[in-house]
A = this chain, B = another copy of it.
């Protein structure tokens, strides 16, 4: 019940009101892989430069993450992102983006990477996402995207929306893509393109999952200490899809559990910079916070 992720392994520079780091490990596929590997074996497909050291790669060690798809390009630098958050931690301001090795990234999946239970297409140019999707025979194909592609490559994005089972997207992006202010109506418009499930990320407000038959709302875990929201979305996707890929069925019951596991993982990520908190946690920590989510949301039938 394995899972393949195609995305970035990168370096970040991050500034928040609580501190600053000039170089830390980041990248969508990094966060995704570490989170998903708590539940399912992961094939990581990405590209790095020779600035990504053995010490950096230690983040993947001792986990169920296959690195044969992590291509290293000699004499080149890894993808670099620099961003800043104000007290409103919901919005990142991008200060710098250096594509570096990513400029030539043209992923070719091998046999193992093609034949998985799930495929996650992390945020990327939609044509590239579609090209990867067409190589895969995964039972569940999910993607993430961003406002930049809605603005600059909407037709290509629509083509890939038609080909996936599950779209993970921000609330503002639903409104931007559909030009519909009502979120539920917007969600229905996107689902009409073909996907079975839309997972709408709402930052500190949690997640809304919309399918043809049901809506499920999950809050974010109310933390007293949020240090760095970088990677929360990809961590969520990793926990969500990692759990789902480990199950024999992707029914409503399992989808809801998957949303909570994704939310649990994301709640850990934001507690420290980079993947520092994800490095520390165990499956016992995850299960304990799952129970905390039960306590946070549970109410009884009317008496």
Contacts and interface: CB of A to CB of B under 8 A. Distances in A.
A214 B222 CA distance: 11
Nearest to A219: B217
A225 interface: yes
A216 B256 contact: no
Interface in A194-249: 202, 204-206, 208, 214-219, 222-226, 247
The 8 residue pairs across chains A and B that have the minimum distance between CB atoms: A217-B219, A87-B181, A256-B299, A205-B205, A184-B224, A184-B222, A217-B296, A215-B222
Contacts of A219: 206, 208, 217, 219
Nearest to A303: B257
A300 B182 contact: no
Interface stretch (A7-15, A25-33, A60-68, A287-295): A287-295
A111 interface: no
Given A205-B202, A297-B216, A185 B303 contact: no
A294 to B, nearest CB: 7
A188 to B, nearest CB: 8
Contacts of A89: 181
Nearest to A214: B295
A294 B256 CA distance: 13
B297 A297 contact: yes
B217 A185 contact: no
A88 interface: yes
Residue of A217, A247, A296, A299 contacting most chain B CB atoms (<10 Å)? A299
Interface in A173-203: 181-185, 188, 202
A138 to B, nearest CB: 22
Nearest to A290: B302
A253 interface: yes
Residue of A87, A216, A225 contacting most chain B CB atoms (<10 Å)? A216
Contacts of A17: 181
Given A208-B222, A222-B208, A222-B215, A256 B183 contact: no
A260 interface: yes
A54 interface: no
Nearest to A86: B181
Interface in A263-303: 287, 290-291, 294-303
Given A182-B224, A182-B226, A294-B301, 18 more contacts: A89-B181, A182-B225, A183-B204, A184-B224, A188-B224, A205-B205, A215-B222, A216-B297, A217-B222, A218-B297, A219-B219, A256-B298, A259-B299, A287-B302, A290-B302, A291-B301, A294-B299, A297-B299
14 contacts: A183-B204, A188-B224, A205-B206, A206-B217, A215-B222, A217-B296, A219-B219, A253-B299, A253-B300, A256-B300, A257-B302, A287-B302, A290-B302, A297-B299
